[in-house]
Amino acid sequence: MMEIPVYTLDAFTNSPFKGNPAAVCPLIRELSDDLYQKIAVEMNLSETAFITRINQSDDFTKENINPTLVFETRSGELAVTRKGEGYVMDFPLNPPTQEDPNEFRDIIKAAVGNHPVQDVYLSSNTEKLLVRLADSCDRSVLTSLKVDPVTLQSSERSGRVKGLILTIKGSPNCQPGYDFYSRYFAPWYGIPEDPVTGSAHTVLGSYWSKKLGKKKMLAYQCSSRGGELELEVRDDGRINIAGQAVTVLQGSITL
């Protein structure tokens, strides 16, 4: 019999049941791919992370003031640094390129209906399509959109899109001063809508940094759970994405 510790964390929030829920399983040894999949299915969350120590001296506890750990993930290295009450993640920046809206008119129609669109950009590296609603649309327009995942998935015929970002300009003069808002949909990966999406902000950060002329931004993802992200676009082609996290469940998996 084996027991595996498991934690459920809500990320990009300081309140339980908000932000992005994820399961984290610290491991003493590697498991089989089949077992990873079964545990992830059992947890039934968008993300389940399994952590093993490469260097046994690594320590990421509250007793350490500002430790930085580098995680070797299947998507590459991810550096995480504790900062105050939150954490800062070091991601590659993914600048999108402007596209002809007509090439994606069906998917845009499926997502936003007849609302006016100001910009359409695509990040080929991440296969994420960014659609910016016109500035005449406020936050309520974005949050009220009813996006059907089946219709959305079937309307994409270019073969270039695996994720859809909807975004509008924020209200930096109103507290807490969000620079932009967004929502993210990925039915192509079985995710009708992701609560809060770090990878989408590697695209959003690049886009809005240029549009707003700012390196540091505060973003809010307007899913039903909602999440807040602090962004810093760096000159070395990378982006820092920071947020808080709360633990809402702690237990063990018995195998």
Whole-angstrom distance between the N-terminal and C-terminal Cα of the chain? 6
CB 249 within 8 A of CB 48: no
Residue among 162, 190, 185 at smallest CA distance from 46: 190
CB 220 within 8 A of CB 197: no
Residue that has been written with the tokens 């695209």 in this structure: 203
47 is catalytic: yes
Catalytic residue selected from 42, 47, 77, 230: 47
Strands (E), 62-179: 68-73, 76-83, 86-92, 97-98, 117-123, 128-133, 163-169
3-state helix vs strand vs coil in the chain, percent to 5: 20, 40, 40
CA–CA distance, 238 with 63 (Å, rounded to integer): 28
Active-site annotation, residues: 47
